Amino acid sequence: MSDAPELDAGPDTTATGVSGTVPEAGPGGAPGGSRPGPDPATRAAITAGRAPAIGRGARAARSTDAASAGAASGSGGSGSGSAGSGGSGSASTAASPGARDATRAGFPADRRGVLLGLATAGVAVITGVALNGRGASSDSGADAVAATGNTVEVTVTVSGMRFVPDAVDVTPGDRLVITLDNTSDQVHDLVLANGAESGRVAAGRSATVDVGVVTGPVEGWCSIAGHRAQGMVFHVTAAGTAGAAGHGAHGGGDAAGSGGSGGSAGSGGGAVPDYAVVLPADVRGFDPALAPADASVAVHEHTFTVTEQVMHVGAGVTQMRMTFNAGVPGPILRGRVGDVFRITLVNKGSMSHSIDFHAGVLPPDDVMRSINPGESLVYEFTAQRAGIWLYHCSTAPMSVHLASGMHGAVIIDPPNLTAVDREYVVVQSEIYLGPEGGQTDAAKVAAKTPDLFAFNGIAFQYRDRPFTARPGERVRFWVLDAGPSEPMSFHAVGLQFDQVFFEGAWTLGGPDRIGAAWSGGSQALGLHPAQGGFVECVPPAAGTYTVVSHSFADMEKGAMGHLVVAD
């Protein structure tokens, strides 16, 4: 969080426009009713910055015509009433506290935004009318579309890292005026590809963007560093023009609500994650709480059944997952050095699968062989060494099978491991999105370009369903990097680790009290794929501590959660 004082944004100023026609409200209150929306492939291109800036190069050349078009639209006849203005003009004012609270209800703001990839530092705030784009038409073909004289006024709010609504449909020839009502807790802006822009808008403030006469589709985004990549994109479509036809409906509801699709995708394109979407209440998450090893059991027998099914992966997206026992990660096994593990693998999937237990030491030829659908095998090993050990499908391509969900952990306690108040397991993995509800994108896996990072199979799930503890309790986190390709650095914001067990060895604390003589501590547990260990900490007081991969780009894609400490 920046310590710089917030600058006074000054009074809001307003663009005065003529009352115009406004699209009827569709489901969720989004303007446009059944308007065609941008297809997710287009949205993904805009978010990634690959889509062209429509008309930007012709901006100077058409400034004179644009000004004329703006004047024509301003002198046109009256319409059916403007959205949110109640009269012939519009007022750009700070959103009321009640309205802002209602908008934020679906996604509580975390004012330590740097921990969620939502930070801006040292911002000079400008609010009011954007003059740069006034009267500018949305396409270089402005001469072919006559101005109707109607003005469409739309209010756009901010929820998390989404504009709401994130699209509006306008009749060609209408003038579009957008009021950006910043209902979030940090600075944003709205920049359109035709050059119109809001300037920086402080939290709780509003600004007006005169898009000009709309002749074709226009894309927009928040230009603050990282916000566009986080999903802050906006689409103007023009009914009946090329580029507006053929797109599927794209909901404009609050991204933080439980019903938002967030990650829908068009045919052939990857699903588009929405990092603000809260995990729906009816989705079963992964319980990270660990029970102690059962000292009365020396032989552990389990059946692992392979299935392939569509599951939530976080950020509003579902994918076809390959699973052990219908979960990602698979079952977390726990025992002691010398215990025997006898696993029956049953393949009820649609392709060949296998399993490789890193906790076992034995020839791979038979037990790690791939088996076809309907077949089974028995994999038996004796735990010889302590640690948290990865297991995964070893059928080619292993990277795709593992990234699709076929991984889990075996925890073998070091001898005389002391009891703690709470134990949790965190298995980090990467998610490479294919189409919504579809299979993992193998090309992304090969290129090592993950879309999401997950703790225990679902991105952001422990942001929405936090770990818990009481003040003064000792908390142990067993951590494993399942990969398949990226490293991690496990860190707890506001806490330090006084016990560290890494890859089978104490590096801090333990029976020999390593580091005690010099008051040693640890800030992070760094792991490469297939490495693991545990750390311990003691939250001193009530509060919300954030656990993250300190590789912040990965944290911003889902490798994070909260530890809520309360009496």
The three-state secondary structure class of 33 is coil
In tens, the pLDDT along 93-112 reads 333 434 434 333 333 334 33
pLDDT of residue 43: 53
Question: Which of the pair, 177 or 56, is modelled with greater confidence?
Answer: 177
Cis ω for the linkage preceding 471 (within 30 of 0): no
- Rounded Cα distance, 388 and 413, in Å: 8
Q: Residues 421-441: what's their mean pLDDT?
A: 96
pLDDT of residue 136: 47
Q: Residues 242-257: what's their mean pLDDT?
A: 35
Half-sphere exposure of 125 (CA within 13 A, CB side): 23
pLDDT of residue 160: 84
In tens, the pLDDT along 184-203 reads 878 789 999 999 999 999 88
Q: Where are the beta strands (DSSP E) in 384-450?
A: 387-392, 407-413, 422-431
Q: Residues 381-392: what's their mean pLDDT?
A: 98
pLDDT of residue 40: 59
Task: Read off the pLDDT band of 417 (50, 70, 90).
Answer: very high
DSSP 241: S
Q: Look at 56-70, 337-351, 436-450 and tell me which has the smallest mean pLDDT.
A: 56-70
CB within 8 Å of 409: residues ≥ 6 apart? 329, 332, 333, 388, 389, 390, 391, 425, 427, 478, 480, 482, 532
Alpha-helical regions (H) of 258-414? 364-367, 398-403
Q: Is residue 133 pLDDT above 60, yes or no?
A: no
Question: Which of the pair, 553 or 225, is modelled with greater confidence?
Answer: 553
Question: Which of the pair, 171 or 133, is modelled with greater confidence?
Answer: 171
Task: Read off the pLDDT band of 365 (50, 70, 90).
Answer: very high
CB within 8 Å of 102: residues ≥ 6 apart? none
Task: Read off the pLDDT band of 49 (50, 70, 90).
Answer: very low
Q: What are phi and psi of 273, to 5 degrees?
A: -75, 150
Distance of CA 206 to the CA centre of its chain: 26
Q: Where are the beta strands (DSSP E) in 33-146?
A: 129-130
The three-state secondary structure class of 407 is strand
The candidate with the shortest Cα–Cα distance to 403, out of 443, 352, 350, is: 443
Q: What are phi and psi of 202, to 5 degrees?
A: -70, 160
DSSP 416: T
CB within 8 Å of 514: residues ≥ 6 apart? 506, 507, 508, 520
Q: For the residues of 126-194, what is the DSSP string, one character each? A: --SEE-TTTT--SSTTGGGS---S-EEEEEEEEETTEEES-EEEE-TT-EEEEEEE--SSS-B--EETT
pLDDT of residue 433: 96
pTM of the shown model: 0.65
Pairing of strands 317-324, 560-565: unpaired
Q: Residues 142-160: what's their mean pLDDT?
A: 87
Task: Read off the pLDDT band of 332 (50, 70, 90).
Answer: very high
